[in-house]
A = this chain, B = another copy of it.
């Protein structure tokens, strides 16, 4: 609050004339973040490609404002979180022909995946492990870890994210066929 006050050329206490407290300020930032989400879905054919586009936009939001995105992920749910994300999803879903419970489960799966993926991404890459640090593991397992960390860090994130979406959509299509 004090720093924000300084930035605005005002004392910290003045802020309380405009905002109830710091928490409200943080939630407001998240709200602004979500309002910024732009989903351009109109050109897309078919529910699958439209839904993909919603979650791609969501991930782009995390890249654009990583710190606020962490707030989004961590702070308790608010109405605005639901109000921004859910209609965008349901809108993209038109034509899929699911009942509501299935739609909501699909939403939970896709949003959980996207939140988790973007969060891991935003935190940065895994540090090179120190040799002594891994003493808990057997020698073979230790070797495996050393081999994997660079591959983990060197991955093409966009392709990797799409791969995860592919998995989930394969599951959803199968679900749809079963009725």
Contacts and interface: CB of A to CB of B under 8 A. Distances in A.
Contact of A104 (B127, B151, B167): B151
A87 interface: yes
Contacts of A1: none
A24 interface: no
Interface in A49-77: 70, 73-77
Contacts of A119: 73-74, 112, 115-116, 119
Contact of A123 (B74, B160, B174): B74
Size bracket, chain A contacts: 35 or more
A87 B120 contact: no
Given A145-B82, A148-B104, A171-B167, A73 B73 contact: yes
Nearest to A124: B76
Given A111-B120, A168-B171, 9 more contacts: A100-B151, A108-B155, A112-B117, A112-B164, A113-B113, A113-B116, A115-B119, A116-B116, A167-B172
Interface of A: 70, 73-83, 86-87, 90, 100-101, 104-106, 108-109, 111-117, 119-120, 123-127, 129-130, 133-134, 136-137, 141, 144-145, 147-149, 151-152, 155, 160, 163-164, 166-172, 174-175
